[in-house]
Amino acid sequence: MELIDLRSDTVTKPSAGMRAAIAEAVVGDDVYGDDPTVNSLEQRVADLFGKEAAVFTPTGSLANQLGIRTLVAPGEELLCEANSHIARAELGAAAVFSGITTRTWRDERGLLDHSNALSFARPNSGPYLVSTTAIAIENTHNFGGGTVQSLSEIQRLHAAVQGQGIAMHLDGARIWNAHVASGVALKEYGRYFETISVCLSKGLGAPVGSLMISTKERAAKARVWRKRYGAGMRQIGLLAAAGHYALDNNIPLLANDHDNAKKLAKACQEAQATVVNPDFVDTNIVGLDLAGAKLSAAEFASNAKSEGLLISALGPNYVRLVTHMDITPPEIQRASEILQSLLQRAFVA
């Protein structure tokens, strides 16, 4: 049985065209700054967001960590939403590696309410209290269900922290999805953040790769810390070539992923109205709330696997589906049928 994999958009395989680009890449030793393909990718991505420089990293978590450590000194404070990737899925890296204190606020579905963030901010707190020196925003918000942040809320937060000694970091692992769904230009997003992370191995289909984007000065510091963390790499033009191919070809394909996610959400709602609101599915992530079901999220995911569908159980009552470029229309139809059958059984009286 051929499995339909909706665990994440990281499960995509490089296409034939991408593999050809990898094979043909011109490479050099990146630790010495000699790889022309990664150098050009870093400058290209920096330019896309109106920034000076970027640093290629193997993971989005590392790109985030390099960004925030250039903004927050040991013993200072980072604020982020309670269910953000930095808070929940990077294994305490900010504390372990950078001595950063983190506090969180809660937003419904992860959607930024600038006043919630500001209510926690404590800049310039003196010698006896922790000072807030950065705020991180995730766009799209993974555990919020792929929600797209309101540009106006980002602008309000940015305006409020000016002159306060508080910088802003964008966890833009899926900023490409936000850009396609909202129509907001990448440079417009870039205006409001001192540091940005972006990922090439999620919706864009590259096998590996993220970038931390900022000023030349911060990028230079991040490059030192990247090597200190053991992530100095050599002939990574092979990976950078995949990134170039992804940017050349795959951003428009994200709209298909968004349409497929909406189809899955509607199918699930038809089977059990309480599990998802399709109106809240903005991009390629569908979160199902199984509260009231006869089985746990883990059991639901196990049953789905038995039917040929891979999904992620990310909480006692929460499962996540993520559409991506390798999923075909017949697979979306089959996945919808499997989910409807499972949901009807899970909630039968």
CA gap 59, 46 in Å, rounded: 17
Q: Is the pLDDT of residue 174 over 80?
A: yes
- Closest by CA position to 175, among listed 223, 209, 142, 135: 142
Q: Is the pLDDT of residue 201 over 90?
A: yes
Q: Is the pLDDT of residue 178 over 90?
A: yes
Average pLDDT of the chain is: 97
Position 178 in a domain: yes
Q: What is the pLDDT of residues 127-153, one digit of tens each?
A: 999 999 999 999 999 999 999 999 999
Task: Give the CATH number, domain containing residue 213.
Answer: 3.40.640.10
Position 4 in a domain: no
273 shares its domain with 155:
no
* Residue 178 phi, psi (nearest 5): -65, -40
Query: In the listed set 249, 272, 301, which residue is the last one of a domain according to the structure?
Result: 249
228 shares its domain with 270:
no
Expressed as residue numbers, the domain containing 284 is: 253-346
Number of domain units in the chain:
2
Give me the mean pLDDT over the 11-31 stretch. Answer: 97
Q: What is the pLDDT of residues 256-282, one digit of tens each?
A: 999 999 999 999 999 999 999 999 999
Query: What pLDDT does 349 receive?
Result: 57
205 shares its domain with 315:
no
Q: What is the pLDDT of residues 50-104, one digit of tens each?
A: 999 999 999 999 999 999 999 999 999 999 999 999 999 999 999 999 999 999 9
Percent of the chain at pLDDT above 90? 99
145 shares its domain with 23:
yes
Q: Is the pLDDT of residue 307 over 90?
A: yes
Task: Report H helices in the chain.
Answer: 16-23, 36-48, 60-69, 85-88, 93-98, 114-120, 151-161, 175-182, 186-190, 216-228, 237-249, 254-271, 297-306, 329-346
Give me the mean pLDDT over the 151-174 stretch. Answer: 98
Query: What pLDDT does 131 receive?
Result: 97
Query: What pLDDT does 40 receive?
Result: 98
Query: In the listed set 182, 216, 249, which residue is the last one of a domain according to the structure?
Result: 249
239 shares its domain with 279:
no
191 shares its domain with 315:
no
265 shares its domain with 308:
yes
Q: What is the pTM of this model?
A: 0.96
Q: What is the pLDDT of residues 230-252, one digit of tens each?
A: 999 999 999 999 999 999 999 99
Query: In the listed set 231, 249, 267, which residue is the last one of a domain according to the structure?
Result: 249
244 shares its domain with 261:
no
Give me the mean pLDDT over the 93-120 stretch. Answer: 97
Position 322 in a domain: yes
Give me the mean pLDDT over the 328-343 stretch. Answer: 98
130 shares its domain with 94:
yes
Determine contact, residues 70/98, Cβ cutoff 8 Å.
no
**What Cα–Cα distance (Å) separates residue 299 from each residue in 172, 281, 295, 311, 348?**
32, 24, 6, 11, 16
232 shares its domain with 260:
no
Determine contact, residues 166/125, Cβ cutoff 8 Å.
no
Q: Is the pLDDT of residue 13 over 90?
A: yes
Six token digits for residue 205: 């289909």
Task: Give the CATH number, domain containing residue 313.
Answer: 3.90.1150.10
Determine contact, residues 67/197, Cβ cutoff 8 Å.
yes
